[in-house]
Amino acid sequence: MNWPDWDQLQKDDRRVIWHPYASATDVPEIFPVIAAHGVHLELADGRRLLDGMSSWWCAIHGYNNPALNRAVRDQLFDMSHVMFGGLTHPPAVKLARLLTELTPPALERVFFSDSGSVAVEVALKMAIQYWYSMGRPGKQKLVALRNGYHGDTFGAMSLCDPETGMHHLFGEVLPKHFFAPAPQCPFDGDCPEQELAAMTELLSVHHQEIAAVIVEPVVQGAGGMRFYCPDYLVQLRALCDAFDVLLIFDEIATGFGRTGKLFALEHAEVEPDILCLGKALTGGYMTLAATLCTGQVATGISEGEAGAFMHGPTFMANPLACATAIASTELLLSQPWQRTIRRLNSELEQGLAPARELEQVAEVRTLGAIGVIELKEAVDMKRIQPMFVERGVWIRPFGKLVYAMPPYIMGSDDLASLTAAMVDVVAQA
């Protein structure tokens, strides 16, 4: 493709595009990408950036992967899309079967959607409709954790932290749910009983109106990149059972190996009633998400008043996306991915360690293929983003966090360059 020059791209972008979490009038510097290969992004001016973000955590195999390219091409010649109402197709059936084989045995049904936020919307609706079908229509509230993030659509926003989250401007119009304190127990520590005291109190007092508890297992992602003790999930499962409340795990950010387990729930060996997947599901090629639920939830909804689950995305189970998700998952499983994640974790820990000596740094932490430098003050995005680009890396900080979630294929030398740039920029910024 013949691209216009750098200046023209910038001008056209500023004139007609509105970027995520950005102003349409005071537009920050934007960097045009014209190609991507392996772990590098190629800019319109010829520069190459080492991608430390996996395109918001989804491109786990890097870019232009031959196996995923082939899956898209092969499926394209059969059909790119077909409606899912009243029809089915092999990629959807194969992917659903694969997901139920990889996740806990109780999760028997798969509902496909277009994005992680919608997967959370689906989970929320499943929980509420389930209890309505069970003759308990008063159970319409959810409990979420402080510092949590579950997406940008209205239902998902209502489950994000209403004070420290990104959606407080909408607080007056969002549905009102309950919030429990975020776990403070470290990932490799114990979870004392008092960690769940507030959650226990909430469920004890309000369980008659609570449909489900939703959490990001082990890792709270966009709400702060916080890691917490797996035993918290064990105790939370017991609480939900005791108070007759469903448990939802949002693994959109953590699924498919990112934490060192295929799914973060495996750290605790806990089975949720509903599980949300997305992001890395297709290896970053196509937008696709899935909400899995137990047979009990599926049967309860189906035998209720409506006789059906009341949701149906137009592009549900898109064949191109499903075929790519199969290829991505099979590619991951065909490799020694656990060893790869251990290597990435060791190198992230080693590379980011010098940041602990910096006065402006509050904490450095790593888990699986996640590396985080938490600062004492929020970063200046307009200043810090170009600094990373000047050093040939792509890192997208937010708030007080400078973090990396690199593609799993990133080699040791590239990862060392990435972490060195992170420490260097933090030291200067």
Where is the domain boundary, 333, 352, 386?
333
Q: Are residues 142 and 210 in the same domain?
A: yes
The residue-averaged pLDDT of 192-221 equals 97
pLDDT of 304-360, one tens digit each? 999 999 999 999 999 999 999 999 999 999 999 999 999 999 999 999 999 999 999
Q: Are residues 152 and 52 in the same domain?
A: no
**DSSP secondary structure string for all residues of 361-419:** EEEEEEETTEEEEEESS---HHHHHHHHHHTTEE---BTTEEEE---TT--HHHHHHHH
Q: Are residues 344 and 316 in the same domain?
A: no
In the structure encoding, which two tokens stand for residue 39, read together?
């772990």
The model carries a pTM of 0.97
Where is the domain boundary, 333, 351, 381?
333
Burial grade of 389 (CB within 10 A; 0-12, 13-18, 19 or more) = middle
Note the pLDDT of residue 27.
82
Residue-averaged pLDDT of the chain = 96
Note the pLDDT of residue 242.
98
What is the percent of the chain where pLDDT is above 90? 91
Give just the sign of the alpha carbon dihedral 220, 68, 113, 97: negative
pLDDT of 59-113, one tens digit each? 999 999 999 999 999 999 999 999 999 999 999 999 999 999 999 999 999 999 9
Q: Are residues 179 and 123 in the same domain?
A: yes
Least confident of 74-83, 153-162, 205-214: 153-162
Q: Are residues 269 and 379 in the same domain?
A: no
The answer to whether residues 281 and 325 touch, using CB atoms and an 8 Å cutoff, is yes
SS3 151: coil
Where is the domain boundary, 274, 301, 333?
333
Which residues are marked as active site?
21, 149, 250, 279
Ramachandran bin of 284, using left for φ above 0, alpha for ψ from -120 to 50, beta for the remaining angles? left
Note the pLDDT of residue 75.
98
Of 261, 315, 262, nearest to 289 by C-alpha is 315
pLDDT of 34-51, one tens digit each? 999 999 999 998 999 999
The residue-averaged pLDDT of 152-168 equals 86
Where residue 6 falls among pLDDT bands split at 50, 70, 90?
Answer: confident
Give the domain extent around 148: 69-333
Where residue 4 falls among pLDDT bands split at 50, 70, 90?
Answer: low
